Amino acid sequence: MEFSNLITELFKGLSNFSIGNAIMIAIGAILITLAVKKEYEPVLLLPIGFGCILANIPLTGMSENGGLFKILYDAGISTELFPLLIFVGIGAMIDFSPLLSQPSMVLLGAAGQFGIFGTMSLATLLGFDLRESASIGVIGAIDGPTSIFVATKLAPQLLAPIAVAAYSYMSLVPIIQPPIMRLMTTKAERRIRMEYSPRPISKRTRVIFPIVVTLAVGLLVPEATPLISMLMLGNLLRESGVVERLNKAAQNEIANIATLFLGLTIGSTMQAQAFLNWDTIMILLLGLIAFALDTVAGLLFGKLMTVISRGKVNPLIGAAGISAFPMAGRLVAKIAQEEDFDNFILMHAMGANTAGQLGSVMAGGILLAIMTGIIGG
């Protein structure tokens, strides 16, 4: 081999390196910094950031047929396997007792999804087609697995920005929601104390609940069955009390491995030529709007419950009706205690938060059903 050819071969990576690659590597580094220094969703932002860096190193072959990223994408994203495995882990972590003892919180879980449909309409007006608009709207639920599940089915070409937006905004819940809460509620409303006298929830009820929910949602919204069934399977492992090894594995090993591979694979789709465009910017902005609208809708419904209950419901719990579990519930309780340190509304907020987890899955299934009915599967 001639010396000139040897030099060319040695530096072929640099010769194919573009400004776009440099920008995306910087974005990957920012995501890692947020994960390490700020601890913003580190379990996901760190592998997403590292995957983004790797995806923008030219000529690695990792995204080509037979490459690591291509294999992971085909095995876990195209098949929706990774989001479903993560839902098994989430279900195993959730205690639905606060919701079962306060069934009215289901209404807040539903109200917390209204922004999805408003943003879907706005995205359509901005030029996105119906499939893309539906996928973008789901970002507002702040439910990464559901966002990925819906985007994979409806708009796989937008998967990277949708996933990054969903998980980034999930990590920014403590920054984005408090100003909206304070704007939408008065000091007096935030100081409202709520009595918590939970009804005892029997083990039989806790075991039957995931089975009934799976059947009900599956029959009403079949498109949501994969997500809701895996969420409820995880919860059944938890509540049955007879498969503790599987319960712990779902919460730890299964969820951790699926999350690692999911993050790495999502990061690998953030290649400069596909990510650096106006559509990405609009998706990030629309996702933020969807998140804000969901929070506003939940707070407005919370205020309605305050009026109906004659001041016995703190409207802040409406902000917990999104799917960012358990972060949103804890944040609502924290904001209430900032006004009155002895005001404990955590269990009410967690009831709304678990309802939001169910609501986001239902909303995703409804959107898939609508798209199937309007434009085919």
Q: Which DSSP string corresponds to 244-292?
A: HHHHHHIIIIIHHHHHHHHHHHHHHT--HHHHSSHHHHHHHHHHHHHHH
Inside any domain, residue 121: yes
Alpha carbons 259 and 89: distance in angstroms, whole number: 10
Report the alpha-carbon distance of residue 335 to residue 340 in Å, rounded: 9
Is residue 68 in a domain? yes
Nearest to 109 by CA among 142, 151, 83, 152: 142
pLDDT of residue 374: 73
* 363 membership: H or E segment, kind and range: helix 346-375
pLDDT at 174: 87
Say how far apart CA 318 and CA 302 lie, in whole Å. 5
The pLDDT of residue 74 is: 93
**Is position 105 within any domain?**
yes
Kindly state whether residue 113 falls inside one of the protein's structural domains: yes
- Pick left, alpha or beta for residue 343 (phi over 0 → left; psi -120 to 50 → alpha; otherwise beta): beta
In a domain, 157, yes or no: yes
Q: What is the pLDDT of residues 282-321, one digit of tens each?
A: 999 999 999 999 999 999 999 999 999 999 999 999 999 8
pTM, to two decimals: 0.88
143 lies in a domain? yes
Answer whether residue 26 is part of any domain. no
Rounded to the nearest 10 degrees, what angle do helices 346-375 and 144-154 cross at?
A: 0
The CA distance from 150 to 229, in Å, is: 16
CA 277 to each of CA 150, 271, 283, 284: distance values in angstroms, whole numbers, following the listed order: 22, 11, 10, 11
Mean pLDDT by 10 residues, the chain (377 residues): 62 80 95 90 90 93 91 92 94 92 89 87 92 91 88 90 86 89 94 85 95 94 92 96 96 95 92 89 92 93 94 93 86 93 91 91 88 69
Q: Is residue 24 part of a domain?
A: no
pLDDT digits (tens, 9 = 90+) for 318-343: 999 888 888 899 999 999 999 999 99
Number of domains in the chain: 1
* Residue range of the domain that includes 87: 59-258+277-375
Predicted confidence at residue 259, as pLDDT, reads 93
